[in-house]
Structure 1
Amino acid sequence: MLVLMAPDKFAGTLTSAQAAAAMAAGWLRRAPGDTVDAVPMSDGGPGFVDTLHAALDGRLEAVTVRGPLGEPAPATLLLVGHTAYVETAQACGLALTGGRDARHATTYGVGELLLAALDAGAHEVVLGLGGSGTTDGGAGLLAALGASADRDLTAGPAGLAGVTTVDLTQARARLAGVTLVAASDVDNPLTGLFGAAKVFGPQKGLADDELPAVDGALQDLAAATDRKAAAEKGAGAAGGLGFALALLGARRRSGLEVVADATGLAERIATADLVVTGEGAFDVTSRGGKVPAGVARLAGEQARPCIVLAGRVEVGNREMRALGVESAYAMVERAGERALTEPVVVLEELAAHVAGQWSR
């Protein structure tokens, strides 16, 4: 039996590569006669560059940029021919802010990453969006590229309130002849009830009473630039980086699709008997471009059964089936707090248990 393991990261505990390795080890312990094909995945968030490097090889280039709170942040570009792959979380990620000072966190460093890719000779830049600790609508990125305004674009959402004019001339000129791809994991617009601030702000450290002001600042930014672009799907990705990239002419693509194409995922699914995917929390947000839903969709197209191993499972059977998932299994249900303190061991145990049910 050939089993394909294609998980995302388990946020805060395991990278996608670690998760795939743990799943494979546990499965083979219980079903040593099976063959496991491990292919770590990413939706554009943390792990995007490492996953693509493993699949595409290419050249890694280390750079240092301004972090979301002004501190130096190490980052890595992946260069494959004239295409550069950038993981924006390395420059503005929640792992860098720790949820601190979210009203002043900036994406300026993402703009510096983009400039470093151009200086390295890239004609196309694919930016993985996800895992950000910022909600500045990409204003910092625009400033790094040369945009100017009547408010401080580098001061996070707190600096945007009341902005009325934004000049993108220099930023757009800097990108003349460059193809930008925004590889995003969410469909949210920039503002409103389902926008970047109100949906994702709390997990980035914004207090409930700060959300209206931050959303209002993003509305001001949209009014000063392009309201239509702000309403497009994916504009709210990575705290609004999707919006800023749209202003610069980027086309949007699913982060999972970028990685799936690079790894030949569809072809590998076609040869498998069972597909296993996973992530830290398999919940309602998994529908919006996340790895498990995308992997399950590809498995369904090949008429292959797909199951999920996750830290937590918070979707019911009906919604699970609608996503194309046969069954889902939770680490916390099996091991409680050990799922956080011993994630590799617990995920191996869970995979071995599931292998006992699914292996032939």
Structure 2
Amino acid sequence: MRTTRRDLLKFGTLAAAAVALPAIGMPETAAAPVGKAAKPLDILILGGTGFTGPFQVAYALARGHRVTLFNRGKRPSPEWPGEVEQLHGDRNTGDLASLKGRKWDVCIDNPTSLPFWVRDAGKVLKGNVGHYLFISTISVYADGARPGIDETAPLAPYKGKDAMAETQQSLMADIEGLYGPLKALSEAEVRKHFGERSTIVRPGYIVGPRDESDRFSYWPLRVEQGGEMLVPGDGLDPIQIIDGRDLGEWMIRLAEAKAYGTFNAVGPDYPLLMDAMLHGCQAVTGKGVRMVHVSPQFLDEHKVDTPIWVPREGNPFSGYGSVSNARAITAGLTFRPLATTVADLLAWFHGLPAERQAKPRAGIPREQEAELLALWKKRGA
């Protein structure tokens, strides 16, 4: 089944309701030492306990910054490698009282998918933060089928009645029609309140340790099992991913550099094709895999979910595998090797409770995969 907007976006939208994640202390392959920043900053992070937030916090502390988190306090905070101030409130209800009368050098807005969240934060923080960084998405673009999308491409229009009246419930009920346009309007609210002192970061698939969606994780985990493996398409479709640590740490460096503007945060810094990604996973796991390429038409016919893969032709989101990241790379975005991401992801996943490992949240169950491969072979393909 070819990727739909729902497949691309549902995990990001549901992040606010996700289960608590393990602590950030995890093995990392060849972690480089982190030097201190030239000037310590007071950084406010809205969210901070989800996927990328803990990486931002850990890196900011390592760089010598002072960190304050604002969230609902519904998730247990990880064991931070330093002192972190915690403020509580609820952006759904407009409860931002704990932010009033405070000043920070930088605010990083991680979880927002609704424009009124930015509007309300702007009313409280305008004039009290020097720099506002907002995590958006490449799904803001109106034409997701065009290869080479850059930051100047037209954005998806909102076609509802009142964007400021949209809620998490309405968003999840109509995610395919609302997610991108509401993110685009959230970006507009950022610029309205913070003007030129704002930074918009548009990631695609965020992967690596702490990724509870299992979208990318399915592939290294499946390669690790070895044997005959169903692979969508001809292996030449482009894939773009970014390690959550690369994204989180770069956000801190953007804050340090006062790098304003809009950036597509996708990776890597070279063309990565589906088969090359799988061979990279195989090199890490050392397992023997025989890849069986199956046509997009066959997958459509059998309604097969193949996460993060999008065929390079004939799909409204084909361009999401080849978005331009030139501006972000110029602004200092760097990428860990694929092997590092895969090795650390596998180490993290195998440290999860057994019942969690037994129930992956994306991909093809092995029984279904075997049935599909048998059907494909009967066609004489």
Could you say which TM-score interval applies, normalised by the shorter chain?
0.3 to 0.5
| Structure richer in strand, relative to its length | 1
| Structure richer in helix, relative to its length | 1
